[in-house]
Chains A and B, each alone.
Chain A
Amino acid sequence: MNGELIFTICYGGLAFLVGAYAHWALGKEYKTYESNNK
C-alpha cells in the first residue's frame, strides 16, 4: 500500500473514528441519565 492510498483512507478514516468515539462517549453518558431517571 502506498502513501497516497494510506492518506486517502486516513483522511476520512479519522473523521469516521472521531464520529465513532463521539457516538460511544455520548451514548455512555446519556445512558447514565436514563438510569438515574429510573
Chain B
Amino acid sequence: MSIYAIGVFLTFVLYIVVGNYAGRAVKDVDDYYVSGRNAPTVLIVGTLVASYLSTVAFMGETGFSYEGYVIPLLILIMITFLGYFGGAYYFGRFIRRAKALTIPEYFGRRFDSSTLQMVSGIINVVGIGAYLVAVTQGSAILMSELLGTSYGLSLLIVWAVYTSFCFYSGSKGVILTDTIMFFFFVLMSFIAIPFIYKAAGGWPQAIMKTAVLAEKPDILSWHGLTGVNNYMGTPTDVLVWAIVLGLVWAAVLAVSPWQTSRYLMAKNEHTVIRSAIMGTIAIGFIYCFLHISMTTLNLVNPNISPSETAFIWSAFNIFPTWLGIVVLGGIMASALSSCSTFLSLVGFSVSNDIIPHLSKNHNNKELLRMSRMVMLIVGLVTLVITYFQPPAVMWIGYFAATLFAATYGVVSFMSIWSKKITAKGALWGIIAGFVVVAVTEGLKSFGGVSYPVYFRPPILGAVASYIGVLIGSKLSQPTEAEKKYRENLFIVPEEEKSPVEIKRTRLYPKLLMISGIIFVIGMYFLYYHPYSIAVLK
C-alpha cells in the first residue's frame, strides 16, 4: 500500500471515530435529524460548504480551469455569491423558524398537505439519491486510482466509511465530520497554491507565461478559449453561459435541500445569516485563488488527460509527499462530505416524509431506532445501485443539482412571500418543475437534443414550475390553516431580538464587504497586473 493510500486511510479512520463519537450524543429524533437544533456558526458553515463542494469542484472544475476556462468559471461563481445570503435571508431563516425536521415536512406543514410532503419527499429521494450515486461513483473512481484496487472494492470502502457514521449518528455526526472535512480541503487549497506556482516557475512569471501560452491563447482572457474545437463559440456565448449558469447555481445554493436543510440545525436565525455570509466568503476565496493557479499547471504539463485529474496529477508529481497526501485526502474529504449529507437527507425523507405512519404510535426511542434502520437500508440500496449503474459522474451530478433549482426554487420563495399560493399551486409547481427538467435533461442526454443557453433545462423547469403554481393557485383558495401558518412564520421569536446577538450578526456583512475589497486587490495583483504586462508586451 502506498504512502498516499495510508494517509487517506488515516483520514477515514478519523471520520469514523469522530462520527461515531458524535453518535453517542444522539438521544432522540431531533438530535438525529437536525442535530438538536443547536449547531453554532462554525458547524453550519462547515456543513454548508462541504455539502456544496464535492469532486465536481476539486476535480471537474479544477480541470475546467486547467483546460482554459478559468475566468468564465469565476464569473459563474461570482454570480452564485447572490445565492447564499439571498437564500438564507428570504427563505432559510423562515424554515428554521418553522422547526420542521425536513424540507418536505416544511412544505407539508406550510400548505397543510401530507400529499405535498410525500411528493416532495419522493423528489428528494430521486434527485438527491441520483446525486448521491454520482458522487459515490466519483469517490470510488478516485479511490481505485489511489489504491489500484478494483472499482467494486473501492466503492465498498468509500460507502462503508460514510455510511458507518451517517446511519448511527445522523446529522450530529454529519455536521461534525463535514466541518472537519471543510477545514481539511480549505487548508489543502491554500497550501497547494504556492507549490503550484513554484513548479510553474514562480509568481508572477508563471501567470505571465501562461497568459501568452502558444498552445492555449486566451487561457487567461476573460472569455477563455473560444472558437472551433473549444467548449464555446464566441466570447458572448461564454458570458451568457456564465451568467445563466451562475443564476442557476445561485438558486441551488439558495433552495436545494442539501443547503437549506443545514439551516434547520442552526442554533438560531442569527446563525443562519452568519453562516450564509461566511459560506459566500469561503467559496469566494477558495475559487479565486486556487483556480487561477491551476491554469499555470499548463507550463509544467500541458497534456494531463482527462483534465479532471489535473489536481490529482499535481499531488503525485509536483507536490512534496506530505502535501500530496493532504491534497488527496482533501479531495476525498470533499466527496465524502457530500455523500454523507446526501445519504442522511435521503434516509430522513424516506422515514419522515414518505412513510409518515412510521412516526405515528411510536415513542421517541423506537422512532430513532427505526430511522437508523431506514438509513441503513437506504445506504445498502444506494450501494447496489451505485455498483450496477455505469459511472456517469458529471451528468447525473449536474442534472440532480440543477433539478432542485427548478423544482423547489419558485415554490420555496413563494411559500414565504406570496399570500396567494395554495397547496394545489405548490404541488403543481413542484411536479411541473420536476417533470420538465427530467424530460428535457433526458432528451439532451439520450436524444441528442440541444438547447440554447438561455433555455437550458433548469430555466425551462423554473418557468414550468411558476406556470404550475399560477394555474394551481388560480383553481383553489388558500385555506385558513395555510394563511395562519404563513402569518406565524413572520412572527420573530423574542430570542432573535437580543441586542448582543444583533450586534454580532451585523459584523458579518462588513466582513463580506472587506472580503470583496480583498478579492479586488488580490485579483488585481495576482492575476490582472501580471496578465496585462504579459499581453501588452
A-side interface residues toward B, CB under 8 Å? 2-23, 25-27, 30, 33, 37
Q: Are A30 and B502 in contact (CB under 8 A)?
A: yes
B290 within 8 A of A: no
Interface of chain B, main secondary structure = helix
Alpha-carbon gap, A33 to B517, bound state (A): 31
B509 touches A4 (CB 8 A): no
B511 within 8 A of A: yes
**Which residue from B82, B506, B513, B523 sits with its C-beta under 8 Å from A20?**
B513
B483 to nearest A CB, angstroms?
Answer: 23
A18 cross-chain contacts in B, Cβ below 8 A: 81-82, 85, 280, 512, 516
A32 to B220 alpha-carbon distance, docked (Å): 47
Contacts of A7 in B (CB 8 A): 71, 74-75, 222
Binding site for A on B (CB under 8 A): 71, 74-75, 78-79, 81-82, 85, 89, 220-223, 235, 273, 277, 280-281, 284, 288, 492, 497, 502, 505-506, 508-524, 527-528, 531-532
A19 touches B502 (CB 8 A): no
Interface centre among B71, B220, B519 (most CB of A within 10 A): B519
Q: Are B523 and A15 in contact (CB under 8 A)?
A: no
**Docked-complex contact A26 and B506, CB < 8 angstroms:** yes
Q: How far is the CA of A11 from the CA of B511 in the complex (A)?
A: 16
- Across chains A and B, the number of contacting residue pairs, with CB separation under 8 Å, is 111
What is the bound-complex CA distance between A12 and B414, given in angstroms?
30
User: Quick check: B280 and A15 within 8 Å, CB to CB?
Assistant: yes
- CB of A23 within 8 A of CB of B509, answer yes
Main secondary structure of the interface of A (DSSP, over half): helix
Query: Could you give 30 example pairs across A and B, Cβ below 8 Å?
Result: A3-B221, A4-B527, A4-B532, A5-B528, A8-B520, A8-B523, A9-B520, A11-B284, A11-B288, A12-B520, A13-B516, A15-B284, A15-B513, A15-B515, A15-B516, A15-B519, A16-B512, A18-B85, A18-B280, A19-B277, A19-B513, A19-B515, A20-B513, A21-B85, A22-B509, A25-B89, A26-B273, A26-B506, A26-B509, A30-B502
Instruction: Report the separation of the CA atoms of residues A15 and B505 in the bound assembly, to the nearest whole angstrom.
Output: 17
Cβ-defined contact, A11 with B512, below 8 A: no
A31, B308: Cα distance in complex, Å: 49
CA distance A3 to B236 in the complex (A): 12
Say yes or no: A27 contacts B506, CB within 8 Å: yes
Contact call A22/B497, Cβ cutoff below 8 A: no
Which of the residues A19, A25, A33, A37 comes within 8 Å of B516, measured between beta carbons? A19
Q: How far is the CA of A12 from the CA of B528 in the complex (A)?
A: 13
Q: Contact: B78 with A23, CB < 8 Å?
A: no
B492 cross-chain contacts in A, Cβ below 8 A: 33
Contact yes or no, B221 A20, CB < 8 A: no
Shortest Cβ distance from residue B463 to the other chain A in the assembled complex, whole angstroms = 25
Contact check, B510 vs A4: say whether CB atoms are below 8 A apart: no
Cβ B89 vs Cβ A16 within 8 A: no
